[in-house]
């Protein structure tokens, strides 16, 4: 039996190491970079939601500025909420976001809550929703004055009613 031994030269060894590092770096970046920054914002926003709220779900939003027609872009998410349950919805702007996120909660057609009151200009970072009707609800996120922005919304469980 003949044993074949490959002895890489010094240059080849260096090349292997460099390429190995490039591949490892690329693979790691590709899989985790985007997720990690989002995860940090989610973690931060979850702490803003408060100790009395249990994290359920997060929704990441990234929107462009309003076009020439002036309508602010918005992103919609659907969430199933259960009767006799109090939920908390918290919105946090990403670092460097130009716009301030507005979160609204609808069922099929009715607006239940908004973090922004256009009459008074008052804004809230969170609101609680005491659900009495099990079903699908819509979370709509847009940015004040149609600015470009990114934010995360945290849906949390507060208590059983």
The contact set with other proteins (CB under 8 A) reads: 8-9, 11-12, 15-16, 19, 22-23, 26-27, 30-31, 35, 39, 42-43, 46, 51, 54-59, 76-80, 82-86, 105, 107, 110, 112-113, 124, 126-136, 155, 157, 159-160
Distance in Å, CB of 8 to other proteins, minimum: 8
Give 15 or 98: the residue with its C-beta nearer to other proteins: 15
Q: How far is the CB of 149 from other proteins (least distance, A)?
A: 20
Residue nearer to other proteins on the CB measure, 68 or 120: 120
Q: Which residue has the tokens 């490039």?
A: 22
Residue in the structure block whose two tokens are 């809550």: 113
Specify the 3-state DSSP secondary structure of 79.
strand
As measured in angstroms, the least distance from the Cβ of 120 to other proteins is 11
Between residues 83 and 98, which has the closer beta carbon with respect to other proteins?
A: 83
Select 3 or 9, whichever has its Cβ closest to other proteins.
Answer: 9
3-class SS of residue 8 = coil
Q: How many CB atoms lie within 10 A of CB 117?
A: 10
Q: Which is nearer to other proteins, 43 or 145 (CB)?
A: 43
Say if residues 127 and 157 touch (Cβ distance below 8 Å): no
Min CB(1)–other proteins separation in Å: 25
CB of 151 to other proteins, least distance (A): 17
């Amino acid at each position: 039996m003949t044993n074949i031994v490959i002895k890489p030269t010094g240059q080849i060894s260096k090349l292997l190491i460099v390429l190995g590092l490039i591949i490892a770096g690329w693979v790691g970046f590709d899989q985790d970079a985007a997720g990690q920054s989002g995860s940090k914002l989610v973690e931060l926003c979850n702490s803003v939601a408060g100790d009395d709220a249990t994290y359920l779900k997060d929704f990441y939003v990234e929107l462009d500025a309003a076009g020439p027609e002036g309508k602010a872009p918005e992103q919609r998410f659907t969430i199933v909420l259960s009767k006799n349950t109090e939920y908390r919805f918290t919105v946090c702007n990403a670092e460097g976001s130009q716009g301030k996120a507005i979160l609204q909660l609808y069922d099929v057609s009715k607006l239940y809550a908004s973090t922004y009151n256009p009459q008074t200009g008052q804004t809230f970072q969170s609101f609680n929703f005491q659900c009495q009707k099990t079903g699908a609800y819509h979370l709509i996120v847009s940015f004040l004055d149609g600015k470009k922005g990114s934010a995360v919304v945290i849906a949390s469980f507060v208590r059983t009613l």
